[in-house]
């Protein structure tokens, strides 16, 4: 059952001429949650955020916050604040003045104490007299967050807020943002194209594609049980192998993959015909020398040939060409328990049947694969 303070979008659409940016979107963001809208550029996630903020007017549908219909409200009349990637700090003001800006405009008293408390929360208690140019990117992002939160909005919108930070600082800020959200108990709606960022911070992730939500749920559920090839490929990496459904074996279903019998959870069988994509995440697969044998009950694909081995520190990432010509990915942790493989080695691939997911083969197996663009 929903809360009286949930953010709800009902049948929300946005068209720019003949282009449909957001298509009849129904979405409920639970009050007090950390919610992520995840998707590639052009999928409609930022347009959705801007409609919630009041910066874009929906072509159709309603946006409500609790009992309040905010669809047509001006941005400044909404109990909503936004943190942008660019920070948008006032360079001539001190950090304390930046954070206090919204409170002073509303005529709030005890501004000094509130600003001090907010700066302490974002671990900038000693930086109030500095100017933005004297702070690092991560510190400026904290100031922007403090300025947005000090007015106690019911919803905080975050538009790619960590995109300008380097990788190490971005990961640190992911943890801090989640801690702050838990402390203030404000609804956070975070727009990002970064899968790791969404999964690290969000309670719920909605994966958007072409103006609609492909799948929504807890990060671990979306990752382990994708419902479309787009989600399987966009949220991490997946091996998708064409197979044909056979009979049942207890709670599992038998799948024929190029003459090899594999098992998959029966609950994973998609609607449609017998043709399926058999999915397995690269880190779920174990390599063994050809013919070395596998644990009882494991799925096994035999006689692959290693075509690439890339050492990344934590893991070694392999490409293995199978007898039917497809290259599969295998990511193995560098635990030191066994010697690694080299290009040209013949190997068998093993994994636990429960880690298999099945998708309708009518879907494009390359949907959601991020490709590098050539400048």
Q: What is the pLDDT of residue 263?
A: 95
In 10 A of CB 14, how many CB atoms? Answer: 22
More confident residue, 165 or 14: 14
| Structure tokens belonging to residue 208 | 């958007």
Reply yes or no on whether the pLDDT at 39 is more than 50: yes
Q: Where are the domains positioned within the chain?
A: 2-224, 237-360
Compute the mean pLDDT over every residue in the chain, rounded to the nearest whole number.
Answer: 91
Using a 10 angstrom Cβ sphere, with 0-12 exposed, 13-18 middle and 19 or more buried, the burial of residue 189 is: buried
CA distance 55 to 42: 17
Q: Is the CB of residue 153 less than 8 Å from the CB of residue 81? A: yes
CATH of domain 237-360: 2.40.50.140
Residue 374: is its pLDDT beyond 60? no
Express each pLDDT in 219-235 by its tens digit: 999 999 999 999 999 99
* pLDDT at residue 142 tops 60: yes
Q: Could you report the per-residue pLDDT of 309-363, keeping only the tens digit for each?
A: 999 999 999 999 999 999 999 999 998 888 899 999 999 999 999 999 999 999 9
Q: Of 210, 182, 205, give the one whose Cα is nearest residue 195.
A: 205
pLDDT at residue 111 tops 60: yes
Taking Cα atoms as reference points, which of 181, 180, 179, 174 lies closest to residue 199?
A: 174
What is the model's pLDDT at position 107? 66
**Residue that wins the pLDDT comparison between 317 and 165:** 317
Give pTM, 2 decimals. Answer: 0.89
CA gap 303, 321 in Å, rounded: 9
- pLDDT range class, residue 15, cuts 50, 70, 90: very high
Q: How far is CA 337 from CA 205, 334, 362, in A?
A: 36, 8, 41
Give the Cα separation of 138 and 116 in Å (integer).
19
> Can you give the pLDDT at residue 375?
44
| Percent of the chain surpassing pLDDT 70 | 97
> Are residues 330 and 318 in contact, defined by beta-carbon separation less than 8 angstroms?
yes
Whether pLDDT at 2 is above 80: no
Which CATH code of 3.40.50.300, 3.90.660.10, 1.10.10.60, 3.40.50.10860 fits the domain covering 2-224?
A: 3.40.50.300
Q: Check the CA dihedral 197-200-203-206 and report its sign.
A: positive
Question: Looking at the predicted structure, is the pLDDT value of residue 371 above 50?
Answer: yes
CA distance 20 to 165: 31
């Amino acid at each position: 059952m929903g809360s009286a303070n949930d953010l709800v979008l009902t049948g929300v659409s946005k068209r720019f001429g003949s282009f449909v940016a957001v298509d009849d979107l129904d979405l409920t963001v639970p009050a007090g949650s950390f919610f992520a809208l995840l998707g590639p550029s052009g999928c409609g996630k930022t347009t959705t955020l801007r409609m919630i903020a009041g910066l874009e007017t929906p072509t159709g549908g309603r946006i409500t916050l609790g009992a309040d219909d905010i669809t047509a409200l001006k941005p400044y009349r909404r109990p909503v604040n936004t943190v942008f990637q660019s920070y948008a700090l006032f360079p001539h003001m001190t950090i304390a003045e930046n954070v206090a800006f919204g409170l002073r405009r509303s005529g709030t008293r005890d501004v000094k104490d509130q600003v001090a408390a907010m700066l302490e929360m974002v671990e900038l208690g000693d930086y109030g007299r500095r100017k933005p140019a004297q702070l690092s990117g991560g510190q400026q992002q904290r100031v922007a967050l403090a300025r947005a939160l000090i007015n106690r909005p019911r919803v905080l919108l975050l538009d790619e807020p960590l995109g300008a930070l380097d990788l190490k600082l971005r990961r640190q800020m992911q943890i801090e943002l989640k801690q702050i959200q838990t402390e203030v108990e404000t609804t956070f709606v975070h727009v990002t194209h970064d899968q790791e960022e969404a999964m690290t911070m969000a309670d719920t992730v909605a994966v958007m594609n072409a103006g609609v939500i492909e799948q929504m749920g807890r990060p671990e559920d979306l990752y382990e049980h994708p419902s479309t090839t787009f989600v399987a490929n966009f949220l991490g990496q997946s091996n998708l192998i064409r197979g044909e459904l056979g009979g049942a074996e207890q709670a599992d279903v038998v799948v024929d993959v190029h003459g090899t019998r594999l098992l998959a959870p029966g609950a994973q069988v998609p609607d449609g015909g017998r043709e399926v994509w058999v999915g397995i995440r690269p880190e779920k697969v174990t390599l063994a020398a050809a013919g070395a044998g596998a644990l009882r009950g494991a799925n096994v694909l035999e006689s692959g040939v290693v075509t690439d081995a890339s050492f990344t520190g934590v893991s070694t990432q392999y490409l293995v060409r199978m007898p039917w010509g497809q290259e599969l990915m295998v990511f193995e942790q560098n635990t030191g328990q066994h010697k690694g493989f080299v290009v040209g080695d013949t190997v068998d691939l093993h994994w636990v049947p429960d880690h298999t997911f099945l998708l309708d083969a009518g879907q494009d197996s390359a949907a959601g694969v991020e490709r590098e663009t050539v400048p």
